[in-house]
Amino acid sequence: MKKETILLVEDTKSTIELINTTLNEKGFAVSIATTGLQALEIAPKLQPALILLDILMPGIDGYETCRLLKENEETKNIPVIFLSALTKTFDKVKAFKLGGVDYLSKPVETDELLARIHTHLSISRLQNELKNANEALEEKVKHRTAELQETNVQLLSSINELFEKSVALQKSEERYKFLINTIMYPVVVSNFSGEFLFANEKSAEFVGLTLAQLYTEKSLNFWYYISQRNEFLKEIAEVGFIRNKEVKLFSKEGVATVILSSSLIDFYGQEAILSIFNDITVQKKLEQQVLTATIETEERERAHFAQELHDGIGPLLSAAKMYVQWIEHSDKVDEIPDLLAKVIALIDDALH
């Protein structure tokens, strides 16, 4: 089994010898830098599991070194534990703000050193596992979305062909309408004024109306965002087609997220828009549930490891950041007050 590497950034010989000996005995590989500039050069290549960073060093100090490490994409996720003597010059708030996850007072107690290292390595492993799980899920969602998009394009092409043939052969009108009505996706033809010229049974079912009722409505009434409809009309007029555009429409269930594909056609001598769409609302809800489960898992792990930390500011603020990201991506407006309350509670805990 490969040893985990700890990067020790320290210029005091006695501290280096103590930490190096302790960590080697516990099966860690230790790499040493005596200045902040050396650490900035070594860390991207070495990719250590954790960095022990002294505050006072020749050249740039530990604060600046940590700031530069966190700005580098290659090193920003490596946990940093500060080392400092118990003096007034050590600013804990500044250390955590710059990205540090913990600090140790010098002279270092070996048992405390090992406990803190094991704790933060465990947290780091869990975070990496969550990240990998999220990436795998995103890949599956992308693959499924790509399949839906391909299906959309193929269906639109087939339907477009049917409509072109129907214009030339009006005697087969009932036949092609029957074929369109057997398609499992909503299909509509409308003009730029929003009047429905044709709609299949699935489209009427989607909005909870009969076909007769649907023909009395205008397409404008079913767009959740009017600005999206205006952009849609502008794009279809300029380009002539739209492929796999995600929009929000009103449905019989409320507000639905759909993937829309459209094309300009000649419908019995007038310019019209042929549209087909897939309802992906359930898929979006599943994505939201996965995000919820991920946040709840991270919150439980944070609570578990908080008992081993003497200062919980870093984990608390990390959890608060996760909730803010959740709010940013959430489609459910009614959940936002509850999420904001959780963020405020975490910040109050951090301040306390």
Instruction: Kindly state whether residue 122 falls inside one of the protein's structural domains.
Output: no
> What pLDDT is stored for residue 87 in this prediction?
62
> What pLDDT is stored for residue 28 in this prediction?
94
Assess whether 273 and 296 both reside in one domain: no
Assess whether 211 and 329 both reside in one domain: no
Assess whether 226 and 252 both reside in one domain: yes
Assess whether 161 and 202 both reside in one domain: yes
Assess whether 160 and 246 both reside in one domain: yes
Assess whether 170 and 241 both reside in one domain: yes
Instruction: Kindly state whether residue 345 falls inside one of the protein's structural domains.
Output: yes
Decide which of 108, 135, 168 is a domain's last residue.
Answer: 108
Assess whether 211 and 269 both reside in one domain: yes
The total of structural domains in the chain comes to 3
Assess whether 269 and 307 both reside in one domain: no
Assess whether 291 and 269 both reside in one domain: no
Rounded to two decimals, the pTM is 0.44
Assess whether 254 and 288 both reside in one domain: no
Instruction: Kindly state whether residue 127 falls inside one of the protein's structural domains.
Output: no
CATH number at residue 321: 1.20.58
Instruction: Kindly state whether residue 97 falls inside one of the protein's structural domains.
Output: yes
Instruction: Kindly state whether residue 351 falls inside one of the protein's structural domains.
Output: yes
pLDDT tens-place values along the chain, 352 residues long? 678 999 999 999 999 999 999 999 999 999 999 999 999 999 999 999 999 999 988 889 999 999 999 999 999 999 999 998 766 567 888 888 998 998 888 888 899 999 999 989 988 888 888 888 888 888 887 888 778 788 777 877 777 777 666 665 555 556 556 656 667 788 889 999 889 988 888 888 898 999 899 899 988 889 999 899 999 999 999 988 899 889 999 988 889 999 989 999 988 888 999 998 888 888 878 777 777 777 677 666 655 554 555 555 666 677 777 778 777 776 767 778 887 888 888 788 777 7
Instruction: Kindly state whether residue 65 falls inside one of the protein's structural domains.
Output: yes
CATH number at residue 209: 3.30.450.20
Instruction: Give the residue numbers spanning the domain of 272.
Output: 147-279
Decide which of 237, 252, 279 is a domain's last residue.
Answer: 279
CATH number at residue 61: 3.40.50.2300
Within 10 angstroms of residue 184's Cβ, the number of other Cβ atoms is 8
Assess whether 246 and 185 both reside in one domain: yes
> What pLDDT is stored for residue 78 in this prediction?
93
Decide which of 222, 246, 279 is a domain's last residue.
Answer: 279
Instruction: Kindly state whether residue 120 falls inside one of the protein's structural domains.
Output: no
Instruction: Kindly state whether residue 141 falls inside one of the protein's structural domains.
Output: no
Token look-up 């499924």 returns 144
Assess whether 272 and 345 both reside in one domain: no
